[in-house]
Chain A
Amino acid sequence: MLRESSRAKGESYDLSLLTGTKGDGNIPHGALLVVFAEAVLGDDDRRLQEVQAAIRDQMGDAAFVDAAAIVATFNAIDRVADATGIPIEDGKAASTADVRAALGINAFAEQRGEIADPRERPSVERI
């Protein structure tokens, strides 16, 4: 979705931000939002308080609340996806193959013993 957004806007976002590269990645406040996500999922409460204050100061309270809602959503969506074993959709597999390989994200599927690309799974009944 980040790449779709990038293409739609005609802008060039640095997707390696997702895997920990420092910087904004051409996204306004990108570094701050990444640190916020890391702090919420981490256990350093003092660090989290600093980042919360920085977001409210630099982006405003409405942005702070919306950013919190996104962390909350995906921290749970990831669990639903992983606990039910859903694959990515065929179309998404095709369109993200290069970026998944470049960022090393396929390893997340492989550590679960899954074939990353669902199009290579032999026993799926397709409608």
Chain B
Amino acid sequence: MTISYAQPPFAVRADIVAAHQQAWSRLAHPGTWFSGAARLAIAAEVRHAPQCALCLRRKQALSPYGVDGGHDNLGVLPARVVEQIHRIVTDPGRLTRTWFDGVTASGTPDTEYVEIVGVVATVVSIDTFCRALGVLPHALPAPISGEPLRRRPRTAHQRGEAWVPMIHPKDLEGELETPEEQKLATYWGGVLANIRRALSLVPEEAYAWFQLVETQYLPGRWMRDFANEYRAITHAQIELIAGRVSVLNQCFY
């Protein structure tokens, strides 16, 4: 199953098509903590979440934390994982540290949680792109068999910055233990925005997620190059859209 944008009567940039094909393929392959089948089950639940009656009631409530009940779900994933996926998809702006502490207390390791966030982000992003263009969402691919990597980077630390441990660029100086960390060290370099570090507890997810981001948005070296325009819309138009989306999502970051 490969992604195509051949149907609409306009051209989609080839680099976007390639990035989406790559991201879609990654969904089907074993990740760092989940099999390909589990990653696809997470992806399917992402798509199911907007139809969940409990999520709708919570979204309409003054506080989501006073509304109890069970999620409408596909019946594949544990209830704790369904709760995490549905909340991130349907009401991300009201997630709290207390809610996150409940995630880990419920039995989801921080590593698995970060990979879940990465899968959610990938599916939300590509599905949003399809909706924005007016094309149908892509069918999910078939899972690829194999074992997850199951390797936690020793360079990731909890410094009280975020809810999850993250790698800091300074952690990547010197000799590194894993190819994933070496890839991040090469890719990152220097001081980074926290959004690039957010998924670094699962380095492969952090790297792949930002490959998609840079293709759809702008590579880091172009973001503040205001003397030149690299897209068919200007820096100002790009940042206006980005800012309005973030306000609609009530995202402080």
Interface residues of A (CB under 8 A from B): 1-2, 4-6, 8-9, 11, 13, 15, 17-20, 25, 27-30, 33-34, 36-38, 40-41, 48-49, 52, 56, 59-89, 105-106, 108-109, 111-114, 116, 118, 121, 123-127
Instruction: Given A2-B240, A75-B245, check contact A84 B199 (CB 8 Å).
Output: yes
Find chain A residues with CB under 8 A from B114 CB. Answer: 84
Majority SS at the chain B contact face: helix
Docked pose: A71 CA to B19 CA in angstroms? 16
Q: Tell which of A13, A69, A105 touches B247, judged by Cβ atoms closer than 8 Å.
A: A105
Does the CB pair A70–B198 fall under 8 Å? no
Interface flags for B1-31 (1: CB within 8 Å of A; 0: not) read: 0000000001111001000000000000000
Does the CB pair A5–B247 fall under 8 Å? no
Q: Which 3 A-B pairs have the closest CB atoms?
A: A85-B163, A68-B132, A8-B226
Majority SS at the chain A contact face: helix
Interface residues of B (CB under 8 A from A): 10-13, 16, 88-89, 92-98, 100, 114, 117-118, 120-122, 124-126, 128-129, 131-134, 159-164, 166, 168, 170, 193-195, 197-199, 209, 212-213, 215-217, 223-224, 226-227, 231-253
Docked pose: A9 CA to B193 CA in angstroms? 23
Instruction: Given A40-B132, A73-B213, A111-B93, check contact A88 B194 (CB 8 Å).
Output: yes
Does the CB pair A36–B161 fall under 8 Å? no
Docked pose: A34 CA to B244 CA in angstroms? 6
Does the CB pair B128–A75 fall under 8 Å? yes
Does the CB pair A83–B252 fall under 8 Å? no
Docked pose: A69 CA to B245 CA in angstroms? 12
Does the CB pair A124–B248 fall under 8 Å? no
Q: Tell which of B10, B247, B252 touches A106, judged by Cβ atoms closer than 8 Å.
A: B252
